[in-house]
Chains A and B, each alone.
Chain A
Amino acid sequence: NAGVTQTPKFRILKIGQSMTLQCAQDMNHNYMYWYRQDPGMGLKLIYYSVGAGITDKGEVPNGYNVSRSTTEDFPLRLELAAPSQTSVYFCASNPGGWYGYTFGSGTRLTVV
């Protein structure tokens, strides 16, 4: 049971480039989330999804896009990367309700 798998683990982007952060879970969870973690700031919600075909904005969605075509996958797209998007990105999932999240191991992104 792999849980939540994120790829890549590290990436350096130049300003203006685009990329997709991949996230896959094998627990058949309906709910999936993308958070970013900045030093001393905790985790901020970027986007979330309550099921295939349904996505919604979180607290800090600007500069990002998501899609959810299957229950398993929830990719995060960065268009026109900016230095402010330098962060560690975590994908998480849960079955909904009062259940804790299962997090992936994160993607460390640097935009230069």
Chain B
Amino acid sequence: GENVEQHPSTLSVQEGDSAVIKCTYSDSASNYFPWYKQELGKGPQLIIDIRSNVGEKKDQRIAVTLNKTAKHFSLHITETQPEDSAVYFCAASKGDYKLSFGAGTTVTVRA
């Protein structure tokens, strides 16, 4: 099955700085790459996603980039704020509706 690796496992940034999380996937047939944010005690929530026919997508302070050749995709958060502190998961799908998740990155934004 699909194997998704996510780095780093923890990330601490100063408020206002940028945060970058990187994921690699193993199956070149994967074509859908969502990112989820999980706050303490809650279920994961979709924050942004990208499809394989797009190289980059941006939504306010969040952006995702995809490199199909290298089989990796990244989440970029700019101007980080305390409410960005959470666990972030990347995922990949081959279009069979099943998502394979990375292990997660715990982001802490220091005031």
The one of B6, B44, B97 in contact with A31, judged by C-beta atoms closer than 8 angstroms, is B97
Q: Does B9 contact A (CB under 8 A)?
A: yes
What is the minimal beta-carbon distance from B107 to any residue of chain A, in angstroms? Answer: 15
CB atoms of B45 and A103 under 8 A apart: yes
Interface residues of A in 11-55 (CB under 8 A from B): 31, 33, 35, 40-45, 48, 50
B 75-110 to A, binary, CB cutoff 8 A, 1 in contact else 0:
000000000000001000101011111111000000
Bitwise interface map of B from 20 to 37 toward A, beta carbon under 8 Å scored 1, else 0:
000000000001101010
Which residues of A are found within 8 Å of B43, using beta-carbon distances?
4, 90, 92, 103-106
For window 1-54 of B, CB contacts with A under 8 Å fall at 1, 4, 6, 9, 31-32, 34, 36, 41-46, 49, 51
Q: Of A40, A50, A90, A105, which contacts B97 at CB under 8 A?
A: A50
Task: Indicate the size class of the contact surface on chain A.
Answer: 20 to 34
The reply to whether A58 and B98 contact each other, CB–CB distance below 8 Å, is yes
Instruction: Give the residue name and chain of the B residue nearest to A102 (CB).
Output: B46
- Chain A positions 33-89 with a Cβ under 8 Å from a chain B Cβ: 33, 35, 40-45, 48, 50, 58-59
How many residue pairs link A and B with beta carbons under 8 A? The number is 61
Q: Which chain A residues have a beta carbon within 8 Å of chain B's beta carbons?
A: 4, 31, 33, 35, 40-45, 48, 50, 58-59, 90, 92, 94, 96-98, 100-106
Supply 15 A–B pairs (Cβ within 8 Å), ascending by A. A4-B43, A33-B98, A35-B101, A41-B103, A42-B104, A45-B100, A48-B98, A90-B43, A92-B43, A96-B97, A101-B99, A105-B42, A105-B43, A106-B42, A106-B43
**Given A41-B103, A42-B101, A106-B43, 20 other A-B residues pairs in contact with their CB atoms under 8 A:** A35-B101, A40-B104, A42-B6, A42-B102, A42-B104, A43-B89, A44-B101, A45-B98, A45-B99, A45-B100, A50-B97, A59-B1, A94-B97, A98-B32, A98-B51, A100-B34, A100-B46, A101-B99, A103-B44, A104-B43
